[in-house]
Structure formats: structure tokens, C-alpha cells
Amino acid sequence: MTCRSARRHMADLFDDASPASAELHAHLETCGACAAEFAGARKALAAVEPAQRVRASLDFKERTMN
């Protein structure tokens, strides 16, 4: 896998529904530049991720529509 291809598919590592390829993981283990870019992306996402998830009450939709 090339660095260009790895960068294109790096977002797959953050998507729970999309299985990341073993080839991408292997590339990140051997390429310091891509591993650093991925670490930076993880750090940026962690900084903006809310501490808690807010969940609407069961009757939220009904109350909102009324």
C-alpha cells in the first residue's frame, strides 16, 4: 500500500461500520509519516468529541411535533 492510498483510506479506521483493511494497518505499522498523520487525526477527533452523549427522552419526538 502506498502512502497516498493509506491517506485515502485512513478515515475508514474511524468508521465503526467500515472494516479497515489489514493492509492499511500493516502500512501504519511500517510508515512513520502515515502513523504520525493518523495519530494527529485521532488526537484532533478526541479533542472535539463530547464527554457525554446526550440522548433524547422516549417522548421527545412526540413533544416536539406537538
Q: Per-residue DSSP letters for the chain? A: --HHHHHHHGGGGG-TTSPPPHHHHHHHHH-HHHHHHHHHHHHHHHHHS-SS-----TTHHHHHH-
| pLDDT, mean of residues 19-30 | 87
pLDDT-derived band at 4 (thresholds 50, 70, 90) equals: very high
Supply the pLDDT for residue 18: 64
pLDDT tens digits for range 25-58: 999 999 999 999 999 999 999 899 888 888 888 8
Supply the pLDDT for residue 16: 66
Supply the pLDDT for residue 40: 96
